[in-house]
Structure 1
Amino acid sequence: MTVVLKPSSLIPKGIQVQHSDRLTLFKFTNELGNRLQTLLDRKKADTLTPEETLELAAIGELDEIFSYINAVIASS
């Protein structure tokens, strides 16, 4: 049985708020950023497990969501 990792489950420990000038932006913690890089490296080497593939997809989805939110905040 495959368990799907929900992107929202990564938020409590994987996201931090960064204040920059007049903006408040969301970014990955160093830990989650490092994990993303590790998974990307393993994907490039074609050594991802099925579980890691799901984890990478969840982190990627979260990255897209926060990139969008940050873009909206920055354009305000």
Structure 2
Amino acid sequence: MTIQLMVQPSSLISSGIRMSEFGDIYLFKFTDELQSRFEELLQKKKADTLTPEEEAEYMGISELERIFTLINAQLAAKSKSYPNKLEDL
């Protein structure tokens, strides 16, 4: 049996992602189900009890979280509701 190093983050998008309105922009967020699963896996990781399959799932969700954090930060930076210059503060 070959164990995957990471669940492909793209496989989680169709069922685990939602858009959430924040001011004049929409941000990517996990669905409640995916967020709960991520928290469950995080607790198991802290307790060092993840199976190899769970480790692959955890790595995939973690990577997707990093991607969305970057995208959401870029969306927020370009939003009209956020000042772009010091004099706008």
> Which band: TM-score by shorter chain?
over 0.9
**1:31 corresponds to 2:40:** no
Structure 2: which 5+ residue stretches go unaligned? 79-89
Residue identity in the other structure for 1:53: E
Structure 1 residue 13, shift from structure 2 partner = 0.6
Of Structure 1 and Structure 2, the greater helix share is in 1
Residue identity in the other structure for 1:62: L
Residue identity in the other structure for 1:56: Y
Structure 1: which 5+ residue stretches go unaligned? none
Aligned mates of 2:58, 2:67 — CA distance in 1 = 14
**1:42 corresponds to 2:76:** no
Aligned mates of 2:22, 2:7 — CA distance in 1 = 31
The percent of aligned pairs where both chains have the same amino acid is: 49
- Match of 1:46, SS state, is coil
Structure with higher Rg: it is 2
Aligned mates of 1:2, 1:20 — CA distance in 2 = 39
Aligned mates of 2:76, 2:22 — CA distance in 1 = 11
Structure 1 residue 20, shift from structure 2 partner = 1.6
Please report the RMSD computed on the Cα atoms of aligned residues, expressed in angstroms.
Answer: 0.9
- Match of 2:20, SS state, is strand
Structure 1 residue 27, shift from structure 2 partner = 0.3
**1:59 corresponds to 2:66:** no
Q: TM-score, normalised by structure 1?
A: 0.95
Structure 1 residue 72, shift from structure 2 partner = 0.1
